[in-house]
Amino acid sequence: MPVFNIVIFGKPGSGKGTQADFLKDKYDLYHISTGDLFRKNILNKTDLGIEAKSFLDNGDLVPDIVTIKMLENEVLANKDVNGFIFDGFPRTYNQAESLDIFLESINQKINATIALEVNEDELITRLLDRAKITKRSDDQDIKKIKNRFNEYNNKTSILIDFYQKQSKFYSVNGHGSVDDITSRLFNLVDSLI
């Protein structure tokens, strides 16, 4: 299989991380979750991690410059893989442009952008349930959750247009069982490789 890079996105709680893990295993890709990158940097108390934590604790998105630097470092440390799944990145037009420029500099590109579509009431239920297990502060407060949805609606939704213009945008129904969603994703990716 040639190098194949996927962006998977959707609102918080849409199942990006879960589905990215299945895609990673099936297609032997390297999964980069910005959430995991943030947590790793926060745990290690790096300068980038300390800065990211101050935003996450308020339910805000981490600034582009911090996120982009973390992501570039992770790609460069793992560039001999079959491809990447970018989970939670890009979230803004600027991030999407930066990712394209960065990947081009290492002779790669985004092959497909897949959005998991789930309604907000279902997502709130999922996030509050997840908070009971993970104790994540940004999943415990409905006001913070809705703020994250607003951030997504105001900033990330423009990526649909960005990737549609490149003929790389695909929408997948994120409702139903995990297996049903996974099957929809596998069918889509198989049709693109």
Residue 94 has pLDDT above 90, yes or no: no
Q: Are 13 and 126 in contact (CB under 8 A)?
A: yes
Task: Give residue 1's pLDDT band: very low, low, confident or very high (50, 70, 90).
Answer: low
Residues of the chain above pLDDT 70, percent: 99
* Residue 162, both tokens: 């960005």
Q: CA 44, 45, 47: angle at the middle one, nearest 5? A: 125
Residue 61 has pLDDT above 80, yes or no: no
Q: Are 12 and 148 in contact (CB under 8 A)?
A: yes
Strands (E), the chain: 6-9, 30-33, 84-87, 112-117, 169-173
Could you give the CA distance from residue 183 to residue 51 in angstroms, rounded to a whole number?
A: 38
CB-based burial of residue 169 (10 Å sphere; 0-12 exposed, 13-18 middle, 19+ buried)?
A: middle
What is the CATH topology of the domain spanning 6-186?
A: Rossmann fold (3.40.50)
Spans of all domains in the chain: 6-186
In the numeric block, the tokens 């940004």 are attached to 138
